[in-house]
Amino acid sequence: MSIDPCCDNEGGASRRSFLKSAASGFGWLAFAGILSEQAYGFDLGGKLNKVRPGIPQDPNDPLAPKQPHFAARAKRVIFLNMAGAPSHVDTFDYKPRLATDNGKAAGGKLRGNWMASPFKFTPSGKSGLPISELFPNVAQHADSLCMLNGMYTDLPAHPQASVKLHTGNFQFVRPSMGAWISYGLGTVNRNLPSFVTLSPDRGNGGAQNYGAAFLPAIHQGTPINIGRAGRGGGAALANRGGGGDEGVANLKSSRFDTKEQREQIDFLQALNRERLRREKDPQVEGVIESFELAYRMQAEIPDLLDLSKEPKATQDMYGVGEQDTDAFARQCLTARRLAQAGVRYIQITKGGWDHHRNLKQAITDSTKAIDKPIGALLADLARTGMLKDTLVMWGGEFGRTPYAQGNDGRDHNNKGFTMWLAGGGVKGGYAHGATDEHGYEAVAGRLSIHDWHATILHLMGVDHTRLTCQHAGRDFRLTDVHGEVAKDILA
Amino acid sequence: MSRIRTLSLVALLASVAWSQTQSPVVSFKTVRRLYDKNRDGEVTRAEYTRGDELFTKLDADGDGVLTEHDFATKKEARNEAKKPTDPNVPGASTPDATPVTPPTAEQSAFFEKHIRPVLVKDCMTCHATGLGDVKADLALDYRDGWVKGGINGPAIVPGDPESSLLISAMRYSDSDVKMPPKGKLSADVIRDFETWVRMGAPDPRVDAPKNSKEAATDGSLPKVGRTVSKDEIEAGRKYWSFTPPAKSVPPVPKQNGWAFNEVDQFLLAEMEKKGLAPAPDADRRSWLRRVTFDVTGLPPTIEALDAFEKDKSTDAHEKVIDRLLNSPQYGERWGRHWLDVARYAESTGKEVNVAYPHAWRYRDYVIDAFNRDRPYDRFLIEQLAGDLMPYQDAVQQSTQLVATGFLAVGVKALNTRDRRQFEHDLADEQIDTTTQAMLGLTVACARCHDHKFDPIPQSDYYAMEGIFLSTDTLYGTFRAPQTNYPSAVIELPKDNGQPKGAQMTAIQRTVLKGLYDRAKQLVETPVDPKADVVARVRTAQANATIAQYDDVFSRFDKDGNPTDRNLVAMGVMDRPRPREARILDRGEPAKALELVKRGVVQVITASDAAPTIKKGSGRLELAEWIASPANPLTARVMVNRIWLHVFGQGLVTTPDNFGMTGNRPSHPELMDWMAVQFVEDGWSVKQTLRRLLLSHAYRMDSTASAKSASVDPENVYLSHMSTRRLEAEAIRDAMMASAGVLELERPEGSPVGALEGRVNGDLLRRGLAMQKPVRSVYLPILRDVVPEGLEIFDFAEPSFVTGERERTNVATQALYILNDEAVTAAAEAFAQRCMRESDDDGPRIEFAFLTAYGRKPSPNETEAARSFLRDFRALQRTDAPTPPTQEGARRRPRVARGNAAPRVDVEKETWTAFCQALFGSAEFRYVD
């Protein structure tokens, strides 16, 4: 079964040709609006047909769950994005040679002296994966982790590399991985966005990192702030000030009840569809979808984001309420609740990894904030039986130099770094690929960002060469014309 | 002459009695006691109220602050004069008098393991010839440094720790000299040093390090990472954006008569090359809505729509454009575009977010500059160096001083521990903003290493840093716990023509007074001498609160009106003595390398055209170099910014990056023609904008032809106008305008004007309420607490230079429109306007559409509207009364409680729901 929701669904020749002629950006609504107005609002007599989108039966619904190309190992993704590029040689890429050569000139083109990791690595789990003492909790799950030690990317600059990591292309605006997955697979809970991004980074590409580009706008990530409270007192401004607000604001009208609001939205959507018909403006689809989703979210989001619904023991396990871990713990626990509720793709962004100096202290602080919550997340997913089909991914946009910057820092390094995967049909306790003996350059099992994307899609049951959308007269893919699945890591 | 005003208790300070002619013989202790208002242990020029001349005299080392060092230097100079030539006097001994025995291997090992790392880490930041800073003349980076010793004589007596100054300083046992100043070293470290001194202080570092001033002259760059060679810079000068623009003759397109002006000629010729044809003209009402939003950020009024519809003259479009460009609303919109780029905000941001109560003056300056069409070159020079420009009168002088707020309103981490770090970070923020905003270059990437992508060596960065380090940035915050680096503000001259600012509201006064009284009470309560740290911090916080609010209350009278003391501005002034910056290895302040002459970015300067700094910091020269027709970037970058806000995307789609990782222009000849024309038009932004608005391209319809959609889906070749989502401000202003409640008059000042100190809690929630529903550009913009209605529609993040905003379409925006109280209230006001218009649905619907969309409803839409009204009314009538809920009090107002079920005001509710739906519709937030 093919999944090309944009261009090749069960819609018949007329629909396909219409969409081809409309070329870009036109998805289901254009079709629905023009060929079956009856179903979506205006009939030609101008009367309103009140369609109440609940759980969809409509094959044109862009978020309806779709069959993957082949059996999926993972049904959902939780991506723990470490913005700023954490050092691999201090965390998950053990390089004893650095200790031997500590202080020696790196030589060659490299201007710097090798710097041993100040942290001890211990063989962990039955598999004996070497994990740094910075991650005592994560280390307990060593046998679930699949290390990708041979990652590399194009550019050692944060904004470009971050956009590349998320969209596969740093030069042009392209859909993000979460949007592609939402587009390809839809989502099972129609009361929630298919793609949620918790407290996204405002810099380094900003909204591009969760954008939908030319895919229907409904696939873009919905940003929700969790764990930012206290930053500048945002929470105190619940009703007036903005960015720092916790959770989702404005979930209830103080004026209209749900029946009235539905009536109101039906009218608003009728106007939107009329505009869509008149102007053929694909951006209208985004507005239409955003109101439908908003309406449905009102019912489910408040409970879902209420972490007090979790037993105290669970909150404690994640580190909720502890000074060092609170923010990330809330994000991880929220991610688990969203995953459980059926959200397809969840991203958490944790910044502050750009350790050019003061590495020893700073990376200790950074890892302290995430180790316990991640350990709890993996344990919790395992406990609920979800780990087997939830793909947890950890990593930043590149790595850091094994040679020193100053006395106590490491510079950007795009030649080799580490990300890891867990659950979702990957081999546990397994290390794929390697950097050279100092950890500078990936030399074995090399994975580009395209390869990484291809592998993730594969785990989701999607062939990266067949997940396409036509835009500007040609088919686009997340992996462009590249990408090779790392078959070795499949369980 | 303007003065710098210190923020605290000036009146309480006695003056020092000495005549101005007499050479100052006064101890630093006295000076500190009298002038160090923020008690940070040093006296800044701002704190010192005895005039510049005396200050300069006292500031022996010329670093712009009075410290112990200045007085020590003086004392030493005096001692020098009467120094006897007795060889027995300590300090008169010469280095070669001390015999040097090379250390044994064991001693070397001890030194390397226990001594050198500590010296490097904790001492050499201030005591190293090789790094340039030799405080108290004591160098610790080579053996003879401590042998000779500093102003207090030799630092170490080999073999005798008890007589060694270095040891007593480390032990903190000497009341005068405690080293290192930021905190006592551990007992283990001190013991190691004692051991080392006891063994004779063996020190392998016999060669004096090369003096870094000499190193500076050999022109070599530090070898870190990639290096940018002279050849690379020379080659870089040929990159398209680093070459001065040249005007080419506009091409003659095949299609006759379509082009209105040169812009159209360029565009059409390019379309023809791609096989595209221009779209037909938009209908008049679409064009009017488009141009009204683009120029003023507001929807056209019904009257304006009528007038334009009736005006059949050939220059009808031109008249509209001129009317809009001459309205004050033009500057409010276009000034805001610049404020995005200038990362304008009214607080420091970062962990400790401290208010900038005077930032709004810079905001108003920008708006006024656009309204008066200040030539763009002058506009830039004023922002970088307004304080250094000549002026006719106090009004002009004040305007220019306020303009320099550009350099002061940036992000600052006031809780930074290390002063040097803070100063370098401040300069970095200024370099980053200046070069990105004005040049489209990311020069700040060259702070730690040569630029990774552009031919900008690290030395270029530090050449610019010298200019900013020679500049005093005055942003007006107080010292408090977690808030270091207090700073003064600029006191504006008399008759400055500046508004005094917003009133302090009664609520603000109540909140501030409450906090103030609580602090007073706390301070007046006798403190237990054994009080713990928490109590001491609380007292310090209370003292800071008192100082801050003393200032606030002096800026407002008891009725809340701002006083003359509120006539101050953020900005910059030159430090008394300019200085060169040192290249910092990897950007680390502790690793200073050679000095770099102050200057500018080489690759965009012809090799023989580098500006020479005649006097002062060099900011004026920097500004003139940027705002010069010879600068290849300045005009191009601005023309592109203007283009972007008219056509939806820039000719260069990376508006803040014209470097080698930026994109190349879609129409290179057009870009250059525009840039040169801009300069020839006297750098007039209005002229340039007017040319674009008058073009035929701007008059096209926004619908793409099939051909365009397939060949050029991004509409790079502009064969039609692009549908664009309105910015956050325009969406909010349009809702308020539709509701008929928008106050077009500029409010005086900002509600932040009555704040000081950290912005959080009660003060924020209650303190920021606006008195009137003003335009969005006047809402308080505190970093991290941007008003929700702006934030949610992709307001520019005020910590970055933002040439182009995001345009997202997410459910949280829909939730905001559906449920936010302010939106609902605006919908109700809009509803009441509709209801006043007529008693019948027909005219009401038409009025609502005209107001919200600038057009009449189609028959389909009228029918849909009628159907909605009918159904919603029915729903209201049959609606069972809602049982009281927790929000019961906030539920809709119910009227006329009769014997039967409670009734609601059906009409008002229905029309409110109707108007809110219009706000939510796509057409409301897009322009075609």
Query: What is the DSSP code string of B492-524?
Result: PPSS------PPPPHHHHHHHHHHHHHHHHHHH
> Please, what is the average pLDDT of chain B?
85
Using alpha carbons, select from A223, B832, B856 the residue that is nearest to residue B824: B832
Q: Do A288 and A175 fall within a single domain?
A: no
Domain span holding position B923: 819-879+902-927
Q: B760 and A233: CB-CB below 8 Å?
A: yes
> What DSSP designation does B113 have?
I
In a domain, A76, yes or no: no
Q: Do A152 and A106 fall within a single domain?
A: yes
Model confidence at A271, pLDDT cuts 50, 70, 90, reads: very high
Q: Do A102 and A180 fall within a single domain?
A: yes
Q: What is the pLDDT of residue A24?
A: 28
Phi, psi of A469 (to 5 degrees): -140, 135
CA distance B408 to B569: 10
Of A193, A220, A242, the CB nearest to B791: A242
Q: What is the pLDDT of residue B538?
A: 81
Q: A244 and B784: CB-CB below 8 Å?
A: yes
Model confidence at B883, pLDDT cuts 50, 70, 90, reads: very low
> Please, what is the average pLDDT of chain A?
83
The set of residues, in sequence order, having a beta carbon less than 8 Å from that of A121 and lying 6+ positions away, is A94, A130, A131, A132, A133
Tokens 């009367």, located at residue: A47
Is 80 exceeded by the pLDDT of residue B23? no
In a domain, B552, yes or no: no
Among A54-68, A303-317, B481-495, the range scoring the smallest mean pLDDT is: A54-68
SS3 for A237?
A: helix
Strands A399-400 and A412-413, by their bridges, are: antiparallel
Model confidence at B26, pLDDT cuts 50, 70, 90, reads: low
Q: Do A285 and A421 fall within a single domain?
A: no
In a domain, A283, yes or no: yes
> What DSSP designation does A130 have?
E
Q: Hey, what are A5's tokens?
A: 């929701």
Q: Do A332 and A196 fall within a single domain?
A: yes
Mean pLDDT to the nearest integer, B105-128 = 80
Domain span holding position A276: 1-51+257-304
Mean pLDDT to the nearest integer, B160-174 = 85
Q: What is the DSSP string of B358-383?
A: TTHHHHHHHHHHHHTT--HHHHHHHH
pTM for the full model?
A: 0.75
CA distance A51 to A269: 10
In a domain, B115, yes or no: yes
Q: B787 and A275: CB-CB below 8 Å?
A: no
Which residues does residue B595 pair with via DSSP β-bridges, in sequence order? B582
Q: B588 and A256: CB-CB below 8 Å?
A: no
Chain B nearest CA to A9, separation (Å): 21
CA distance B38 to B71: 20
In a domain, A7, yes or no: yes
Q: Do A126 and A244 fall within a single domain?
A: yes
Using alpha carbons, select from B62, B24, B27 the residue that is nearest to residue B45: B62
Q: Do A206 and A103 fall within a single domain?
A: yes
Is 60 exceeded by the pLDDT of residue B503? yes
Q: Do B106 and B197 fall within a single domain?
A: yes
Is 70 exceeded by the pLDDT of residue B72? no
Q: Tell the burial category of B300 from Cβ atoms under 10 Å away from its Cβ (0-12, 13-18, 19+).
A: buried
Q: B785 and A253: CB-CB below 8 Å?
A: no
Q: Tell the burial category of B328 from Cβ atoms under 10 Å away from its Cβ (0-12, 13-18, 19+).
A: middle
CA angle A357, A362, A366 (to 5 degrees): 140
Which residues does residue A76 pair with via DSSP β-bridges, in sequence order? A390
Reported residue count of chain B is 928
Q: Is the reported ipTM for this assembly greater than 0.90?
A: no
Q: Do A466 and A423 fall within a single domain?
A: yes
Residues of chain B neighbouring A103 (CB-CB closer than 8 A): none
Nearest chain B residue (CA) to A405:
B586
Using alpha carbons, select from B637, B628, B622 the residue that is nearest to residue B685: B637
SS3 for B574?
A: strand
Query: Chains A and B: how many Cβ contacts under 8 Å?
Result: 278
Of B762, B786, B861, the CB nearest to A242: B786
Q: B785 and A411: CB-CB below 8 Å?
A: no
SS3 for B122?
A: helix
Chain A nearest CA to B784, separation (Å): 6
Q: In CATH, what number is assigned to the domain containing residue A383?
A: 3.40.720
Q: Hey, what are B464's tokens?
A: 């610019």
CA distance B866 to A343: 39
Q: What is the pLDDT of residue B101?
A: 67
3-state helix, strand, coil in chain A (%, to 5): 35, 15, 45
Which residues does residue A145 pair with via DSSP β-bridges, in sequence order? A422
Mean pLDDT to the nearest integer, B672-686 = 98
In a domain, A424, yes or no: yes
Q: A275 and B922: CB-CB below 8 Å?
A: yes
Residue-wise pLDDT tens digits, A71-99: 999 999 999 999 999 999 999 999 999 99
In a domain, A108, yes or no: yes
Q: What is the pLDDT of residue B569?
A: 97
Q: Hey, what are A483's tokens?
A: 């990408």
In a domain, B175, yes or no: yes
Angle between helices B728-738 and B821-837 (to 10 degrees): 40
Mean pLDDT to the nearest integer, A254-264 = 91
In a domain, B667, yes or no: no
Q: Do B62 and B117 fall within a single domain?
A: no
Q: What is the pLDDT of residue A472?
A: 67
Q: Do B117 and B35 fall within a single domain?
A: no
Q: Do B119 and B195 fall within a single domain?
A: yes
Number of folded domains that form chain B = 3
SS3 for A181?
A: helix
Q: B713 and A471: CB-CB below 8 Å?
A: yes
3-state helix, strand, coil in chain B (%, to 5): 50, 5, 45
Q: A287 and B824: CB-CB below 8 Å?
A: no
Is 50 exceeded by the pLDDT of residue B686? yes
In a domain, B661, yes or no: no
Nearest chain B residue (CA) to A225:
B812
Using alpha carbons, select from B408, B554, B529, B389 the residue that is nearest to residue B471: B408
CA distance A117 to A394: 20
Among B48-57, B245-254, B786-795, B845-854, the range scoring the smallest mean pLDDT is: B48-57
Q: Do A284 and A385 fall within a single domain?
A: no
Q: What is the pLDDT of residue B94?
A: 37
Chain A nearest CA to B671, separation (Å): 21
Chain B nearest CA to A377, separation (Å): 27
Mean pLDDT to the nearest integer, B617-639 = 97
Q: Do A335 and A216 fall within a single domain?
A: yes
Q: Do B36 and B99 fall within a single domain?
A: no
CA distance A273 to B814: 16
Q: Do B104 and B201 fall within a single domain?
A: yes
Model confidence at A191, pLDDT cuts 50, 70, 90, reads: confident
Residue-wise pLDDT tens digits, A357-397: 899 999 999 999 999 999 999 999 999 999 999 999 999 99
Q: Do A28 and A133 fall within a single domain?
A: no
Share of chain A above pLDDT 70, in %: 83
Of B810, B872, B890, the CB nearest to A222: B810
In a domain, B676, yes or no: no
Residue type at A72 in one-letter notation: A
Q: Hey, what are B594's tokens?
A: 């050679």
CA distance B588 to B592: 7
In a domain, B470, yes or no: no
Residues of chain A neighbouring B862 (CB-CB closer than 8 A): 46
Of B764, B794, B890, the CB nearest to A254: B890
Cβ pair A150, A447 in contact under 8 A: yes
Residue with the larger pLDDT of the pair B474 and B189? B474
The set of residues, in sequence order, having a beta carbon less than 8 Å from that of B519 and lying 6+ positions away, is B541, B542, B543, B545, B546, B549
Residues of chain B neighbouring A217 (CB-CB closer than 8 A): 809
In a domain, B875, yes or no: yes
Residues of chain B neighbouring A241 (CB-CB closer than 8 A): 764, 768, 782, 785-788
In a domain, A72, yes or no: no
Phi, psi of B896 (to 5 degrees): 45, 65
Mean pLDDT to the nearest integer, B713-737 = 95
- Radius of gyration of chain B, Cα coordinates, nearest whole angstrom: 33
Chain A nearest CA to B816, separation (Å): 6
Is 80 exceeded by the pLDDT of residue B264? yes
Mean pLDDT to the nearest integer, B527-542 = 75
Model confidence at B199, pLDDT cuts 50, 70, 90, reads: confident
Q: What is the pLDDT of residue A352?
A: 92
Nearest chain A residue (CA) to B893:
A255
CA distance B726 to B713: 20
Number of folded domains that form chain A = 2
Nearest chain B residue (CA) to A291:
B814
Share of chain B above pLDDT 90, in %: 56
Q: Hey, what are A82's tokens?
A: 């470490």
Q: Do A289 and A404 fall within a single domain?
A: no
Using alpha carbons, select from A48, A15, A81, A6 the residue that is nearest to residue A328: A81
User: Which of A110, A174, A201, A287 should we substitute to test contact with B (largest number of B Cβ atoms within 10 Å)?
Assistant: A287
